[in-house]
Amino acid sequence: MKKILSLFILLLSSILSAQTIEETTTETDTSTVEYYFVEGDSVARKAIFLDDVVVMGRLKFNDNDARRRYLILRRKTRKVWPYAKLAGERLVELNERLDSMKSKRAKKKYTKIIQRYVEDEFGAQLKKLTRTEGQILVKLMYRQTGSTTFELIKDYRSGLKAFFLNTTASFFDISLKEIYDPKNVQEDYLIEDILQRSFQANVLEPQDPAIKINFLELKNKWVKPKLSQGIK
């Protein structure tokens, strides 16, 4: 558990960062604008291009037990998604902030400040996660950062070694090396299905993944077999 808390302490560093001066730049728009004519109308109208939308059909299950497991997975996925999204948002900012700090003393002092803040704000919530919720969080953090939780911790160990020396306990005995692979793992596909449905229903706030995900291709692969397996 301490490892997850430690990682979020780092990823949330920008919350307490010093104020920065925003530079205003003027750029010339050289993009091509397309217009179209409606039949019978002489006025050209500006074309508007929309993102592709995948139509989410109704899920079908082999039995009620499979449906129940999906609903449980949905509840757990929706619960941990905000933390994974937050990790993705803060990772780039964190790297920039740490790169700007040259002395180890400054980094150590900075992480202590962030540690107190994050533990006060999020520690109690993260400690309440179950083992399966923790594993889903690890997978979603891979989706949003492109790295496993183990890799993220390892990357920051060199610059914040003293901070991580205290992180000896495993996070509910789960695999921190777990990746997110909806193409080959049915449970991961179900998690992605839950995310996409939740985004379209405005239940969860969307965020682009750090890894390549083509949900239409995933749907074409997994939609044929009824969703009765892959949920633990």
- CA angle, residues 171, 172, 177, in degrees to nearest 5: 55
Q: Who's near 120: CB < 8 A, 6+ residues apart?
A: none
pLDDT value at position 24? 40
Token representation of residue 117: 């803040």
pLDDT value at position 125? 75
Residue that has been written with the tokens 């004519």 in this structure = 37
Quick one: which of 113, 141, 121, 146 has its CA closest to 10? Answer: 113
pLDDT value at position 96? 73
Task: List, for residues 44-84, the tens digit of each pLDDT value.
Answer: 666 555 555 667 778 888 899 999 999 999 999 999 999 88
pLDDT value at position 118? 60
Mapped to the 3 state alphabet, what secondary structure does 101-169 carry? CCCHHHHHHHHHHHHHHHHHHHHHHHHCCCHHHHHHHHHHHHHHHCCCHHHHHHHHHCCCHHHHCCCCC
Lowest mean pLDDT, pick from 68-72, 149-153, 216-220 = 149-153
Task: List, for residues 177-213, the tens digit of each pLDDT value.
Answer: 899 999 999 999 999 999 999 999 999 999 999 999 9
Question: pLDDT grade, residue 21 (50/70/90)?
Answer: very low
Task: List, for residues 90-105, the tens digit of each pLDDT value.
Answer: 766 666 776 788 888 8
Percent of the chain with pLDDT over 90: 31
Number of C-beta neighbours around residue 36 at 10 A: 10
Question: pLDDT grade, residue 171 (50/70/90)?
Answer: low
Contact (CB, 8 A) for 147 and 155: yes
Element (H, E) at 217: helix 215-222
Query: Mean pLDDT, to the nearest integer, of 121-140?
Result: 82
pLDDT value at position 80? 95
pLDDT value at position 92? 63
- Cα(7)–Cα(153) distance, integer angstroms: 7
Residue with the bigger pLDDT between 140 and 58: it is 140
Alpha carbon of residue 77 to chain centroid: 11
pLDDT value at position 168? 32
